[in-house]
Amino acid sequence: MAFDREAIKQRAAGLAAKGVFIGTSSWKYEGWFGQLYTPARYEYRGKVAKTRFQRDCLSEYAEVFKTVCVDAAYYDFPRREYLQGLADQVPEDFRFGLKVTDAITIKKFPNLDRFGAKAGQANPDFLNADLFATAFLTPCEQVREKLGVLMFESSRFHTRDYEHGRDFVRDLDAFLGKLPKGWPYGVEMRNRAWLRDEYFGCLARHGVAHVLNSWDAMPPVSEQMALPGSRTNPELVAARFLLKPGRKYEDAVKAFQPYDRTQEVNEEARKAGAAMIIEGERYEPRRKTYIYVDNRLEGNALETISAMLERTSVVAVEQPLSQLPLSSRPLVSVGPLGRPFAFRLGGSGG
């Protein structure tokens, strides 16, 4: 659906006030000119200056949304100056989601050019809590009040990495136990078979959120939401809607660039996003919910967010809550006319 800038601005602000933050994965997309961004703000001698846009567009983004996922932190440890530069462009009630640098989360460096001589080698700093504290958290201290969630994204592990999921959980448990307390941590798992009690229990013991994620080899977010124990931190929930399950990242990039419009509707993801919004509103103000949408999901993250927000107002209650068993009771919100609306996790929607 079309992106109504002013309407989304008002809705995003209202949700953030209730602890529900919805935004995009990264923000520097020229395909969003005319939707979110105003080309004239970045012109130099009659043309959009790419360097000016890249440098300054976060401030215009933050006029509408209250959160964004900073993917750049994944590729290198963030510098204080970089983080302060981001924080200076956004209002006080804005919150960043940061992907933790892959030097901490990669067990074996992929055979990619950017890893140079390390490509194909074991990573000696995999799950190194001391390195994380000094190289990642230390520069984050000065912008700590604007950090909503710090996400440890793990690439899919293979049997040469861990023969069993329980072996990974053992290492993860030791790592999480060494982390400095009081930070909003989340773990994004990419092994669907490991989404079990042992994994969820480990995160729950340490007060760490499972980051629900829509990805190539992962089950849809709605299925992850329906798993018992998947809300591992009652005060922090996070999700990243990145790819349609079964689709490769490179294929999505090729199909959807320049990300200026929706090219393929993902109804499951839209329903799941709406369900998360409704659930977050239900649990406010104690819980904070962070939802990030990527262009590679449908072709245009702005329009996907619009559809998710619209969906929260059209999913009708099929039965009174008192007639439903506890395990399948829908999550309730209130529509624009004061009527209750709901979404049943794992159900077909309405």
The more confidently predicted of residues 36 and 110 is 36
For residues 12 and 120, membership in a common domain is answered with yes
Number of independent structural domains in the chain? 2
For residues 301 and 326, membership in a common domain is answered with no
Whether residue 47 is predicted with pLDDT greater than 50 in this model: the reply is: yes
Whether residue 332 is predicted with pLDDT greater than 70 in this model: the reply is: no
For residues 328 and 209, membership in a common domain is answered with no
Cβ 153 vs Cβ 188: under 8 Å: yes
The more confidently predicted of residues 284 and 104 is 104
Point out the least confidently predicted range of 43-47, 146-150, 314-318: 314-318
> How many CA atoms, within 13 angstroms, populate the side-chain half-sphere of residue 288?
18
For residues 213 and 298, membership in a common domain is answered with yes
Confidence of residue 65 (pLDDT cuts 50, 70, 90): very high
For residues 123 and 79, membership in a common domain is answered with yes
Identify the bridge partners of residue 334 per DSSP, sorted by sequence position: 340
| pLDDT the model gives residue 50 | 96
| pLDDT the model gives residue 329 | 40
For residues 308 and 326, membership in a common domain is answered with no
Whether residue 159 is predicted with pLDDT greater than 80 in this model: the reply is: yes
Assign residue 100 the CATH number of its domain: 3.20.20.410
For residues 217 and 98, membership in a common domain is answered with yes
Tokens encoding 115: 């890893």
Helix (H, G, I), strand (E, B) or coil at 64: coil
For residues 202 and 275, membership in a common domain is answered with yes
Tokens encoding 50: 């790419």
Which DSSP string do the residues of 301-348 spell out, in sequence order? HHHHHHHHHHHTTT-B-SS-GGGS-GGGPPEEEE-TTS-EEEE-TTS-
The more confidently predicted of residues 110 and 344 is 110
For residues 343 and 237, membership in a common domain is answered with no
Whether residue 108 is predicted with pLDDT greater than 50 in this model: the reply is: yes
- What is the residue range of 137's domain? 5-312
| Chain mean pLDDT for the chain | 90
Residue pLDDT, tens place only, 247-282:
999 999 999 999 999 999 999 999 999 999 999 998
Record the pTM. Answer: 0.89
Residue pLDDT, tens place only, 198-215:
999 999 999 999 999 999
Whether residue 325 is predicted with pLDDT greater than 80 in this model: the reply is: no
For residues 291 and 178, membership in a common domain is answered with yes
Q: Which residue has the tokens 């592990």?
A: 157
Displacement of CA 113 from its chain's centroid (Å): 27
For residues 334 and 187, membership in a common domain is answered with no
Closest CA to 343 of 299, 308, 297, 294: 308
Closest CA to 28 of 86, 114, 102: 86
Whether residue 24 is predicted with pLDDT greater than 90 in this model: the reply is: yes
For residues 344 and 248, membership in a common domain is answered with no
Tokens encoding 180: 């400095």
Confidence of residue 283 (pLDDT cuts 50, 70, 90): confident
Residue pLDDT, tens place only, 297-311:
999 999 999 999 999
